[in-house]
Structures are given as structure tokens and as C-alpha cells.
Structure 1
Amino acid sequence: MEIVVCVKQVPDTTEVKIDPVTNTLIRQGVPSIVNPFDKNAVEAALVLKEKHGGKVTVISMGPPQAKDALKECLAMGADAAILVSDRAFGGADTLATSYTLAAAIKKLGTVDVILCGKQAIDGDTAQVGPEIAEHLGIPQVTYAAKVEVDGSVARVEREHEEGYEVIEVGLPVMLTVVKSANEPRYPTVKGTMRANRAEIPVWTLADLEVDETKLGLKGSPTQVRKIFTPKQRTQGVLIQKDTAREAVAELIAKLSEAKIV
């Protein structure tokens, strides 16, 4: 079974900074991590490989430092990794990103299952995975909590607000994986040593069969015009009384004035 996992290196959410001029994320000097949901996708891929055999390839589109994220996935147990990186890909929105990743997946040849995390924690759009499926013309199942494969059919438990849907779909298929699907394994010492020695190939614009007008900023129909932090508002009323009885009485009086009770 040929399995591909798309992963993204994202800024640590505690260190997110925005350039006020370009309205883009400041990545220099900011700690980066593997998108947490993508680790769930990697774990799901490794479980499928353990059950059915085959190969797990992780792909990321990003700057050269994204190799660190790919090496972490290799340390978890992935078999191969590819970085898709070129200045021409910079500034891409989800549509341009998914177009580029889909081109890279096509270059790999036959793929049975493509896995993504349900969303990235920096953009929170949950669009790239489904858009990859559209570019490739294959079925998709989002919010997968459990995946089983029997021959050429995948049986997926899809999580939603009211419970689960059980969906059967033919391969190849693209799945986005939720956090509740599994607990990502920790890299082993042996795996980490292997990952540190690995030479990760970098695919540039010259390596992909693409329409350059669909790449990067010029291929992105959505653009961020402005980002700002809303002013903090103080809400509520502080009630200070000598006893709890007096405080409760004051609270009830204020709720009555506001016509809440």
C-alpha cells in the first residue's frame, strides 16, 4: 500500500507574531513545530502500514527549515520524506498550496491513501486536504476518526457533532484525520538517528508539471488585506461585600436591573 501524508511546519501557537506591514506570519526567530493534527495523520498512516504493508511518504511544502518537521515524521517511522520548496510557491493560499502538493503527489505515481491532519493550527481553514482531492479527482472523507482498509475499499468512521458516520469508499482516497483518532507515537532513539542521517530531497518548480499562474501569491484568489488584534474589553461587575449573603443580594439586584432575572 502506498500512503502519502501531507504535513505542515507551523509556528508554536504561543509564539505567533504578525508582520503589521505584510500581514503575514513572522517565521524568523519563532519556534516551529509539526502541526499537531498532522501527527495524528502520520500515526494513522503508520498503523495502516503495519497492518497492510507498504510505504509511508511524508510531503511538506515550505521553506528549507521545514525539513526539521519531516525528520520528526521520519523518526516516528515514516519511510521517506520530500520537501517541496521554491520561491515561486511563496505566499500561496490554500488553493495554490493544494495545487502544488497535488502536483507533487502526482509525481510520486500510484498512491492508495493520502492523509492530512483535519486542519493546520495557524490558518485553521481545513481546506488544503479536500482541495488536494479535488485537484487529483479522487474521493475524500474529512474528520476521519477510524480507518480500516479491505482490499480496494476503505471503511471510515467520520466524526461530527452528533456522533459518527460510517462511510465506505474506494481507493485511492484522501482522508483528513481528527485528534481523537489516535495518540501519535514518540520517535524512537533508532528512528531519530536514522532521521538525522536522512537526506531529504527538495522538489522545486523545475521538478513539477504545473501551471505557473496557479502557484504562490499570483495563483492565490484569497489574500489577507489586514490583520489586527481587537482591543480588550473589560466585562462584568466586581461585587465586594462583607458577607456572601450581601454579595448574593447585590448580584440578584443587578441581574434584576438588567432584566435577566
Structure 2
Amino acid sequence: MKILVPVKRVIDYNVKVRVKADGTGVDLANVKMSMNPFDEIAVEEAMRLKEAGTATEVIAVSCGVTACQETLRTAMAIGADRSILVESDAELQPLAVAKLLAAVAKKETPQLIILGKQAIDDDANQTGQMLAALLGWSQATFASKVVVAGDKATVTREVDGGLETLEITLPAIVTTDLRLNEPRYATLPNIMKAKKKPLEVVKPADLGVDVAPRLTTVTVTEPPKRSAGIKVADVATLIDKLKNEAKVI
């Protein structure tokens, strides 16, 4: 079984994000970038399926600028066999990424696509669902456990009311949640080996996909700063402030 794992290059989760002075977007100058944490979980799950003998090949794929090759090398250092970069300098929105991944999937014919439920830069949570719709495949989102047997996959997913277990038919799309696994660290020998693994670079035009943005960002602003707390004399004053100032009751 072949597994495709899309990975995204995002601002490292330890970095404090800064908004540009003109409000047109987020400042990326001299900012540390890394693989989206949810996608790290997806790569780890694919590797566990391969180590269990369920999968025979794991392919990492990324869409974006040339620097995304670093993210793909990280995925291969974790264990992916090869990788594909759909290189584009355009702003890639979720629908465009889903179309690119669908084109790659039709070319590579994987039986399973595992990706993070969302990216920590835009928190869109759309690409996996759009990809399933474009391909017409089964989907299971927010997975906290995945078991593959034959042409079926049993996925335990996290929902607001608890856990839900689905049985889906392959080929399928699975999006990962935090509690699915704990990603391994890439060892130095594997990082060196990853440099020799094949990395294919294609353009959106090669896949016949139009990646023109459908949405326009009007402005980007930082969240309001938290104001200092105050002390109140009694419960009546507290209730009054909650009702008339905070307007939460």
C-alpha cells in the first residue's frame, strides 16, 4: 500500500507571530520556519503503518516556495521514501492546495492520504475535506487512532461529545488530531540519508491546476492586548461589572 503525506511549511510554533506594520499580512522576515505540527503527526502515523508492514511506500508532498524542500527533507529524515514539491510563488489557498494534491494523487495512485487536520498559520481545517470531495474518496477527520486491515480502515475520531469510530473503505483521506501519536525526532544519520533520497519538483501548470487566489485578505490585525485585572469590594460590584461592563451575563 502506498501512502501520500502532504506537509506544510509554517512559522515555527515557538515563534511569536508579528503582523506587518501596514496590516497586509504576517512578517516572515528572518523567522524560523518548520513543518506544521499536525503534519508531523501524519508523517509519524504513516511511518508506523510502514513499520507494521501495512504500507510499502510513504511519499511526502508539499506545495509552496522552493524553501519547502527543507520541510520535505525533514519528512524524509523521519522516514518518508521520497518526496514531491509542487513549486509555486503564488499565494496557495486551501482549495488550490486541495486541487494540487488531487492531481498528485491521481498520478501517484496512493491507497491512503494522511495529513494534518489544519495548519497552525491559518487554522483553516479545509484542505483534507476538499481533497476528499475532489477525489470522491472516503474521509475520516480528527483521527486519534487509525487501524488499517485489507481494504478497510477503522478510524477513531474526536468529536465534541467524545469519540466516534468509523469504518471507511480505501482509498481514503485521514486528517490527524493531536492525540493520534507522538512524532519521533529525526536522527543525524537519517538526516544525512534524507539528502540522497529523491525529491521531484513540478509546477502547478505541469499538473494542469489553476492556483489563482479566490479570496482576498482585507487586513490583518493582532488580537487586542489583555487589560489588567481589578479588585472589587463585594459580590454585588462583581456582578454589576460582569453585567454592565464585560457584558457576559
- TM exceeds 0.5? yes
Q: Structure 1 residue 175: deviation in Å?
A: 0.4
**Aligned residue in 2 for 1:85:** 87
**Aligned residue in 2 for 1:254:** 237
Task: Give the SS at the match of 2:50.
Answer: helix
**Aligned residue in 2 for 1:216:** 212
Q: Structure 1 residue 38: deviation in Å?
A: 0.5
Normalising by structure 1, we get a TM-score of: 0.85
Structure 1 distance, partners of 2:239, 2:161, is: 36
1:101 aligns to 2:101 (yes or no) = yes
Task: Give the SS at the match of 2:114.
Answer: strand
Structure 1 distance, partners of 2:63, 2:23, is: 21
Spell out structure 1 runs of 4+ moving beyond 6 A.
Answer: none
Structure 2 distance, partners of 1:53, 1:100, is: 23
Task: Give the SS at the match of 1:146.
Answer: strand
CA contact (8 A) 1:59 1:82 kept: yes
Determine which structure has more spread, i.e. the larger CA radius of gyration.
1
**Aligned residue in 2 for 1:244:** none
What is the letter of the counterpart of residue 119 of structure 2? A
**Aligned residue in 2 for 1:243:** none
Q: Structure 1 residue 17: deviation in Å?
A: 3.0
What is the letter of the counterpart of residue 145 of structure 1? S
**Aligned residue in 2 for 1:129:** 128
**Aligned residue in 2 for 1:165:** 164
What is the letter of the counterpart of residue 3 of structure 1? I
Task: Give the SS at the match of 2:61.
Answer: strand
Task: Give the SS at the match of 2:51.
Answer: helix
Structure 1 distance, partners of 2:23, 2:106, is: 33
CA contact (8 A) 2:23 2:220 kept: no
Q: Structure 1 residue 253: deviation in Å?
A: 5.8
Q: Structure 1 residue 199: deviation in Å?
A: 4.5
Structure 2 distance, partners of 1:162, 1:38, is: 25
- How many residue pairs are counted as aligned between the two chains? 241
Q: Structure 1 residue 36: deviation in Å?
A: 0.4
Structure 2 distance, partners of 1:229, 1:206, is: 36
RMSD, aligned α-carbons:
2.1
Structure 2 distance, partners of 1:80, 1:131, is: 24
Q: Structure 1 residue 257: deviation in Å?
A: 5.2
Task: Give the SS at the match of 2:107.
Answer: helix
Structure 2 distance, partners of 1:259, 1:132, is: 45
**Aligned residue in 2 for 1:40:** 41
CA contact (8 A) 1:93 1:223 kept: no
Larger CA deviation: 143-152 vs 186-195:
186-195
Larger CA deviation: 15-24 vs 49-58:
15-24
1:196 aligns to 2:189 (yes or no) = no
Normalising by structure 2, we get a TM-score of: 0.89
**Aligned residue in 2 for 1:155:** 154
Q: Structure 1 residue 163: deviation in Å?
A: 1.5
Structure 1 distance, partners of 2:2, 2:148, is: 12
What is the letter of the counterpart of residue 132 of structure 1? L
Structure 1 distance, partners of 2:205, 2:92, is: 17
What is the letter of the counterpart of residue 209 of structure 1? G
CA contact (8 A) 2:145 2:180 kept: yes
**Aligned residue in 2 for 1:75:** 77
Structure 2 distance, partners of 1:105, 1:256, is: 57
Q: Deviation digits for residues 75-103 of structure 1, max 9, x if unmatched?
A: 1111111111124xx11221122112211
Task: Give the SS at the match of 1:64.
Answer: coil
**Aligned residue in 2 for 1:26:** 27
**Aligned residue in 2 for 1:234:** 227
What is the letter of the counterpart of residue 98 of structure 2? S
CA contact (8 A) 1:20 1:227 kept: no
CA contact (8 A) 1:4 1:114 kept: yes
**Aligned residue in 2 for 1:117:** 116
Counterparts in 2 of 1:85 and 1:135: CA distance versus 1, 3 Å: same
Q: Which has the higher helix share?
A: 1
Structure 1 distance, partners of 2:80, 2:205, is: 26
Task: Give the SS at the match of 2:237.
Answer: helix
Question: Which stretches in structure 1 are left out of the alignment for 5+ residues?
Answer: 240-249
Question: Which stretches in structure 2 are left out of the alignment for 5+ residues?
Answer: 244-249
Structure 1 distance, partners of 2:100, 2:24, is: 23
